[in-house]
Chains A and B, each alone.
Chain A
Amino acid sequence: MLKCLKEKRIAQLKELQLALHLIKKGPLTLTGLIIMGLLILVAIFAPYIAPYPQDALGAASPENKFELPSREHLFGTDELGRDIFSRVLFGTRISFKIAIVVVLLALLIGLPLGVIGGFLGGKIDELIMRLTDIFLSFPSVLLALIICVILGPSIDNVMIAIAISWWPWYTRIAHAQAVSIRERPFIEAAKAVGISKTKIIFRHIMPNSLTPVLVQATMDLGSVLLTSSALSFLGLGAQPPQPEWGLMTYIGHGYLFTSWWCSTFPGLAIFVAALAFNLLGDGLRDVLDPRTRRLLR
């Protein structure tokens, strides 16, 4: 028993080593990881780092409007005299919250549906997959847009809307995994022993289908961020004076000709965060992909 545990620990350490090795090998993954780490720190410590935290929380001093980027205001000030740097820092919180909540919600709906359908097959599978197809037949941004219009503009509604348009992708992936796993001998064995279907689904099929779904989810964080920013840009997401990047870019674009900094910096923030999520997702795929691992072994 002890030997078995020791072996398991060694195997885990080897896995970790391999993962670190893979991360080191790809400088892009490392870059993604570093940016992500920085952004998470910014999100946590925004109130302490931001030079003018009150500007991100609704204060306005219109007499200082449209000041050029300077030492006092690194990214300049907006049309109501607020420090754009502070607002961009606080915006990290909103953007991360949206990206993570949406992906989690979509996973929560999509993963079980795909796994259940894939394992059980038959009519239930048909029903789930046709429903998925119906949702997939709408372009996700359009679907989110329609839901947002119906629910009314707010960040919470944006999260619900994007999650509703996002889950079918995970169902598809989880379904494909589950179909291949259900034929494996260990599932057959579990069935033979008489373990209940629910237990097989949640203890055996789901954990084994998770990897590709997780990779996809990480990659999707960036896309969700872009979609939510797009909805805010269209006035359907965050409401003023929330320091949401999409909304800030939208409001600033009206002043682009006279004050370029108002929408440039929030726009750059969206770009950097989306890039970091994507690099990380790519890296994660490499780490978890058995083919790359085999090559390295």
Chain B
Amino acid sequence: MSKKVFPQKKAVTKIQAVIIAVIIVVAVVLGWFLIKPPAPAEEKVGVFAWVGSDVWVFWDPGETFSNEISILNSVYEGLTHWDSVSKTVKPLLATSWSVSEDVMHWTFHLREGVKFHCGHKFNASTVKYSIERNIEGGKGASYIWACVDNIEILDEYTVRFNLQYPAPLDVIACAGYCSHPYCPICTEEHGHDWFYEGHDLGTGPYYVEKYDKAEELVVLRKFDDYWGGWTGKEFDKVLMYAIPAASTVRMMLENGEVFLVDHLPFEMVKDMEKNPKIRIQTAPSWQNMFGLLNTQEPSPLSNKLLRKAISYAVPYEVCCSEIRYGYATQSHGIIPAGILGHSDTLPQYNYNLTKARELLAQAGYPDGEDLEPLVLTYNAGDEDERKFAEIYKAELAKIGVTLDIKAMTWTAQMAKAAGPPEERQDIFLFYWWPDYPDPYSWMLSMFHSVAPEDIVFECAYYDNPYYDDLIDEAYKVTGIDPAKAQEMYEEAQRILIEDAAALFIYDWTYVRPMRVELKGYIDNPAYPNAFNLYDMYWEEK
């Protein structure tokens, strides 16, 4: 019996294997195409840079007072908004408002359908809560609400401010700092420190997604439920870097890694003007540089004629053209153009050394004889101030006056200025810009008389009761009669100019280097260095 041998059966033949493999490949490819999710629309990312470090200082909306508004002004919104084109107050979270005849009661009608980034509803009680919390906290620029006596809720979307004294509350509500309503529920729940971790509770078009303190990077994302709506052109995500080295930022801008920079040194700006991919946009600012002159004994500058003499020794035009490369104009008084109180008709000191010598002789110091060296302090590291100091020293030397220049840290400079009169400086170089679109802060903060122990910025030590009354009155009538206020502020400035209480040097022009493809950026001097992210978009040629 022979054993039947069955041929061994292969599990799969070669041909079958090939067929199976082909089927699997086809299935996978088909499956990929059928199941594949639709490609997400490409995210529009805007990248911005700030030259410097420690830019975002205050995160609690009740404490803001610094450069954090560069981004937070797109995260929070106020009741009103300053329109830099029409130079008027425009509605924002308030749709309309009215004021009583005595300017003591302001009623704001609020916008309906507005949500905070946390999802809670915006209404009158949130306005009352936020502003009262700011006043109680007393931090940052919260002093702007000092005129408010109490806040009444008339109905869900109407709120009334009762004041202690007449004040232009619609203008105050425009402020870039400490003026924004935020969600009371979440503020109570999370507390103050939570904001500093990089959170927000605003109503603005963008919310803070991430704050990387080590990298100095803030990431903002668009708020889908924003009441203003979205056209689709805006950035979905915004990256904001703070980088200390200007040269690095310049390279990033030229390579297209950054779209807009808050500022770059003028030498670099001039150099980049040739680059067709870069646009240099300029705009008037409300920031000015001046030198406060010590009007009190024992400073030799307590002599008014001497103050006038040295005012004629400032080469104003050279300062504008050489220090700021033409991006500045000589000041007319202390209030810059575009704000109540400014007037081009105010007298200016011009550069006239003959006149300076005459006045110097009249002051009792012919050719500077017997005059001890004048001490000028400036903030160490500020190139513009240093250049001014050196140019001014050279000019004063021509009329026989010696100037001692002292570069100091800001704190040391302030301590010296508030110290005993014999240790104070004679000239204090200074910048100022307002916290809300009103001239009172210039007139008050530097020139109103104060008790010696209360000196902060009053480093001209100016003491003129008539001037004090004039500006206090002007502040009160601003809300009722702006024309009258204008007249009074002009008169107050004429007094300052006649008394030569300061060297009125120049008003800045903002200079922003940006990519040509970036559209919609507008400088609003009421919100210095704040990027209007909601209006900006990228447009390839």
Contact = CB atoms under 8 A, between A and B. Distances in A.
Contacts of B407: 153, 235, 239-240
Contact of B389 (A62, A79, A235, A240): A240
B391 A60 contact: yes
B386 A62 contact: no
Interface residues of A, number: 22
A247 to B, nearest CB: 10
A239 B322 contact: no
Interface in A154-204: none
A259 B407 CA distance: 24
B267 A58 contact: no
A240 B267 contact: no
Contacts of A255: 265, 267
Interface in B322-350: 322-323
A153 B380 CA distance: 11
B267 A80 contact: no
A58 B394 contact: yes
A251 B384 CA distance: 12
A34 to B, nearest CB: 35
B393 interface: yes
Contacts, number: 61
A58 B393 contact: yes
Measured as residues with beta carbon below 8 angstroms from the partner, the interface class of chain B is 20 to 34
Interface string B248-273: 00100000000000000101101100
A52 to B, nearest CB: 13
B381 interface: yes
Contacts of A63: 318, 322
Contacts of A70: none
A115 to B, nearest CB: 40
A62 B315 CA distance: 11
Given A63-B322, A80-B387, A240 B405 contact: yes
B397 interface: yes
Contacts of A80: 387, 390-391
B7 to A, nearest CB: 84
B268 A241 contact: no
20 contacts: A58-B393, A58-B397, A63-B322, A65-B322, A79-B383, A80-B390, A153-B407, A153-B408, A235-B380, A239-B405, A240-B390, A240-B407, A241-B390, A241-B394, A254-B383, A255-B265, A256-B247, A257-B250, A258-B267, A258-B270
Task: State the 10 A-B residue pairs at the shortest beta-carbon distance, nearest first.
Answer: A62-B322, A60-B394, A258-B267, A241-B390, A60-B391, A235-B380, A257-B247, A59-B394, A240-B390, A60-B390
Given A152-B412, A240-B386, A251-B386, 15 more contacts: A58-B390, A58-B393, A60-B390, A60-B393, A63-B322, A153-B380, A153-B406, A153-B408, A239-B406, A240-B390, A254-B265, A257-B250, A257-B267, A258-B267, A258-B268
Interface of A: 58-60, 62-63, 65-66, 79-80, 152-153, 235, 239-241, 251, 254-259
